[in-house]
């Protein structure tokens, strides 16, 4: 009975930590259209392509996270977890205040940067923290639902097979989210441009939430298959923007929800199998270091989306 309580306590605790940690980051991306519209940022005078360059918000939201994830795993262990969590809370609260009260673009972007710092440090810390919490133990010492694997290779060598497909998944999906979603606008739909964009982002995040919470039901070992499917999504929507062959926003809603399911599944399965395939003494560092994969993919997607976005805006 005590083991079952501990299992659920750990699951619920980390589910809430992950939900709260990503809150500011997700809100900033979902509100990118509104944040920059408030400051009258526009790259095109065409009414059907009112371009507010959400890639600027994406880069402000991901580059600080990327820097933290690249360097922090080597030194962050010197800071207590309690101090890190307090710092993340302060950064997140400050980000909301800055964006909500801003009267200039640079203040809004600074608020987004603070959200990025909070999210990046929090994600890295909470993933590392999972190394100290186990699932319910069975009589033979294994954990319920575990997959037995060989762990006689270095942590560094084993991480690449996880980091690369995770980075590719996130490159494809954020190329869609911040490069194409603004351009997937249906003028005769009952939702406005800004409302369509918000629903795209909301459905994407809902798909992510569902699939990240599905590990107890299904585990996917073939991470490259998820990468391939996400790239197919990106190519499909790129052609949809170029040739305008999608008949309604309802179809885009379905694709975006599916995109979120793929992204969340790639994330949760990546870190699950990393935790299973690394030794105890390497697990805390491995979980933190591997988190750079999604951030690197997102940062590259933001850079790639700039020329694509500008090209379509000026057609």
Q: In whole numbers, what is the pLDDT of the chain averaged over residues? A: 82
Query: Residue 2 burial (CB < 10 Å; 0-12/13-18/19+)?
Result: exposed
Residue of 70, 71, 60 whose CA lies nearest to 114: 60
Comparing 82-96, 133-147, 209-223, the range with the smallest average pLDDT is: 133-147
Q: Which CATH superfamily is domain 150-314 in?
A: MFS general substrate transporter like domains (1.20.1250.20)
More confident residue, 83 or 105: 83
User: Mean pLDDT across the stretch 176-199?
Assistant: 87
75, two tokens: 């030194």
* pLDDT score of 139 more than 80: no
* pLDDT score of 128 more than 70: yes
- CA-to-CA distance for 168 and 94, rounded, in angstroms? 32
Banded pLDDT at 173 (limits 50, 70, 90) = very high
Residue found under tokens 């203040």: 107
* pLDDT score of 137 more than 70: no
> With a threshold of 0.75, does the pTM exceed it?
yes
Give me the pLDDT at residue 149, please: 39
- CA-to-CA distance for 47 and 36, rounded, in angstroms? 16
Packing angle of the helix pair 81-101, 105-129 (nearest 10 deg): 160
Any idea where the domains of the chain sit in the sequence? 1-142, 150-314
More confident residue, 62 or 232: 232
Residue 247 neighbours by CB under 8 Å, 6+ apart = none
Task: Return the number of other C-beta atoms located less than 10 Å from residue 254's C-beta.
Answer: 11
Give me the pLDDT at residue 39, please: 60
Task: Return the number of other C-beta atoms located less than 10 Å from residue 23's C-beta.
Answer: 15
* pLDDT score of 254 more than 90: yes
Task: Return the number of other C-beta atoms located less than 10 Å from residue 304's C-beta.
Answer: 16
Give me the pLDDT at residue 95, please: 92
Q: Is 129 helix (H, G, I), strand (E, B) or coil?
A: helix
Comparing 43-47, 218-222, 277-281, the range with the smallest average pLDDT is: 43-47
Give me the pLDDT at residue 48, please: 42
Residue of 70, 64, 93 whose CA lies nearest to 302: 64
Residue found under tokens 């519209």: 37
User: Mean pLDDT across the stretch 203-226?
Assistant: 91
Give me the pLDDT at residue 138, please: 39
Comparing 37-51, 70-84, 286-300, the range with the smallest average pLDDT is: 37-51
Q: Is 153 left (phi over 0), alpha (psi -120 to 50) or beta?
A: beta
């Amino acid at each position: 009975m005590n083991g079952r309580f501990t299992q659920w306590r750990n699951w619920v605790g980390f589910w809430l930590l992950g939900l709260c940690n990503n809150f500011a980051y997700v809100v900033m991306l979902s509100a990118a259209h509104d944040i920059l519209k408030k400051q009258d940022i526009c790259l095109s005078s065409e009414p059907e392509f009112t371009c507010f360059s959400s890639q600027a918000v994406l880069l402000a939201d991901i580059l600080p996270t990327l820097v933290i994830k690249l360097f922090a795993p080597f030194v962050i262990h010197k800071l207590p977890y309690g101090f890190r969590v307090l710092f993340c809370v302060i950064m997140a609260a400050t980000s909301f205040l800055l964006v909500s009260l801003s009267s200039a673009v640079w203040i809004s972007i600074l608020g987004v940067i603070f959200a990025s710092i909070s999210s990046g440090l929090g994600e890295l810390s909470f993933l590392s923290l999972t190394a100290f919490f186990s699932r319910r133990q069975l009589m033979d010492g294994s954990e319920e639902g575990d997959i037995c694997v060989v762990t006689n290779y270095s942590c560094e060598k084993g991480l690449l097979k996880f980091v690369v497909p995770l980075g590719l998944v996130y490159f494809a999906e954020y190329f869609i989210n911040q490069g194409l979603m603004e351009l997937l606008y249906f003028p005769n739909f009952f939702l406005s441009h800004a409302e369509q964009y918000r629903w795209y982002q909301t459905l994407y995040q809902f798909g992510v939430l569902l699939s990240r919470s599905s590990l107890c039901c299904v585990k996917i070992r073939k991470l490259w298959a998820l990468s391939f499917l996400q790239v197919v999504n990106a190519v499909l929507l790129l052609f949809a923007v170029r040739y305008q062959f999608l008949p309604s926003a309802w179809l885009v809603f379905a694709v975006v929800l599916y995109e979120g399911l793929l992204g969340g599944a790639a994330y949760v399965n990546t870190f699950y199998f990393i935790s299973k395939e690394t030794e105890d003494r390497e697990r805390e560092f491995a979980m933190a270091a591997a988190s750079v994969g999604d951030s690197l993919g997102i940062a590259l997607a933001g850079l790639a989306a700039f020329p694509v976005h500008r090209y379509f805006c000026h057609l």
